[in-house]
């Protein structure tokens, strides 16, 4: 079955080259995939010339794009003809099944929420993405869309994260944890403790593990980590920075003398396996969960391989019926959890 994905070719640090190359990589993986391309023709065509199959797909020219440092409110008002907005519009009017962009995160969220609106029972969308742990892949949300979250928002994130994890990780019944400063019941803010109480008495009670600390995330204690966008974004950036620092230390150590270089040659197969396991490009592609349409955010600094993975994430979410399954879960909670706040269950 042919699937059409709308691509914002002008978003990201190395646009449009990375987006075009990433599209070619994704199509090699999904031969029946087609793209609806949005970007500045003069800048895009030289890169499309290297990939005739991508160049033959529908292309919509626009000279407008959303700058990486643009304020979301300004982008929403002035970016109506930007490549980002047009890609989202394509999802709204049914021309594409999903949109992928490596552009400004705040602007993407603002535009997507304005154009697509939220799913029934969802007050705020959340950014959800996969994160490697010691023995598996976990889903973390929110990664930056909502700085302040109420009780009902955390409960909604748990529902959406549970569905998202089933699709991304393949785990039949993912365990959900609320990120907290301790695992004791008395720890944390009123909001997080109230959210835990609701989840313990909800239809997700069997999947709710309880509170988890930062170290539990990398241990893989749970499959879904729920937190507010401020904490989630800080945790993500610290994890990325730590991985980068550790890699730098290893490179420096292995170059220090001939013994270290010899040791590197002996250890290279094992190090390559670790590098592949932790390669951030494999986990690129965060979904804006809770929208009435599939929108995937690629890391702005990724390369073509990473952008290809973001497109792959969009394909998997569409084919798995992510939004339909979220609606089903919310409806089920509304039917079963009469004690939960109305805002939390729609």
pLDDT digits (tens, 9 = 90+) for 142-161: 898 888 899 999 999 998 99
Which pLDDT belongs to residue 337? 58
10 and 139 share one domain = no
Read off the pLDDT band of 341 (50, 70, 90). Answer: very low
Give dist(CA 38, CA 11) in Å, integer. 10
Domain that holds residue 196: 123-282+322-346
Give domain status of residue 294, yes or no.
no
pLDDT digits (tens, 9 = 90+) for 159-209: 899 988 888 788 888 999 999 998 888 888 899 999 999 999 888 889 999
**Residues 115-133: b if buried by 16+ CB within 10 A, e if exposed:** bbebbebbebbbbbbbbbb
73 and 95 share one domain = yes
Give me the helices (H) in the chain, please: 17-29, 41-48, 52-55, 72-78, 83-92, 105-116, 151-169, 190-200, 214-219, 229-254, 258-278, 304-319, 322-336, 342-345
Tell me which of 278 and 198 has the higher pLDDT. Answer: 198
Q: What is the model's pTM?
A: 0.83
Give domain status of residue 38, yes or no.
yes
Give dist(CA 61, CA 342) in Å, integer. 45
Read off the pLDDT band of 270 (50, 70, 90). Answer: confident
Give dist(CA 335, CA 346) in Å, integer. 10
Number of structural domains in the chain: 2
- Residues 198, 210 contacting (CB under 8 angstroms): no
Which of 116, 132, 161 is at the close of a domain?
A: 116
Distance of CA 226 to the CA centre of its chain: 14
138 and 175 share one domain = yes
State the DSSP string of 99-166.
EEE-S-HHHHHHHHHHHH-BPTT-SS-EEEEEEE-SSSEEEEE-SSS-SS--HHHHHHHHHHHHHHHH
214 and 339 share one domain = yes
Run of H or E residues at 67: none
Average pLDDT, the chain: 88
For 129, list phi and psi in degrees, rounded to 5: -145, 160
Beta bridge pairs of residue 321? none
Query: What CATH number corresponds to the domain at position 76?
Result: 3.40.718.10
- Residues 128, 39 contacting (CB under 8 angstroms): no
């Amino acid at each position: 079955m042919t699937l059409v994905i709308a691509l914002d070719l002008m978003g990201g640090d190395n646009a449009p080259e990375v987006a075009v190359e990433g599209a070619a990589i994704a199509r090699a993986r999904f031969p029946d995939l087609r793209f609806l391309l949005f970007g500045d023709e003069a800048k895009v065509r030289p890169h499309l010339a290297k990939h005739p199959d991508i160049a033959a797909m529908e292309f919509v020219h626009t000279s407008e794009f959303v700058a990486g440092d643009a304020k979301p409110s300004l982008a929403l008002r002035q970016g109506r003809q930007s490549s980002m907005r047009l890609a989202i519009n394509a999802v709204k009017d049914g021309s594409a099944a999903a949109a992928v962009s490596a552009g400004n995160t705040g602007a993407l969220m603002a535009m997507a929420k304005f154009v697509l609106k939220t799913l029934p029972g969802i007050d705020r969308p959340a950014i959800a993405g996969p994160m490697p742990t010691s023995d598996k892949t976990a889903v973390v949300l929110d990664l930056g869309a909502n700085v302040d979250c109420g009780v009902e928002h955390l409960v909604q994130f748990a529902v959406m994260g549970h569905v998202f994890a089933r699709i991304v990780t393949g785990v039949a019944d993912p365990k959900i944890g609320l990120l907290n400063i301790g695992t004791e019941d008395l720890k944390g803010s009123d909001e997080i403790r109230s959210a835990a109480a609701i989840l313990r008495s909800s239809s997700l009670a069997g999947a709710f593990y309880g509170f988890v600390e930062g170290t539990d995330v990398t241990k893989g204690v749970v499959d879904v980590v729920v937190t507010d966008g401020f904490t989630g974004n800080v945790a993500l950036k610290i994890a990325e920075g730590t991985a980068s620092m550790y890699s730098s230390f290893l490179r420096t150590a292995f170059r220090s003398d001939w013994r270290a270089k010899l040791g590197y040659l002996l250890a290279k197969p094992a190090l390559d396996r670790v590098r592949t396991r932790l390669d951030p490009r494999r986990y690129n592609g965060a979904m804006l969960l809770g929208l009435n349409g599939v929108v995937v955010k690629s890391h702005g600094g990724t390369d073509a391989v990473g952008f290809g993975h973001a497109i792959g994430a969009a394909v998997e979410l569409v084919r798995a019926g992510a939004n339909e399954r979220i609606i089903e879960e919310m409806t089920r909670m509304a039917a079963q959890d009469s004690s939960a706040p109305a805002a939390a269950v729609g």
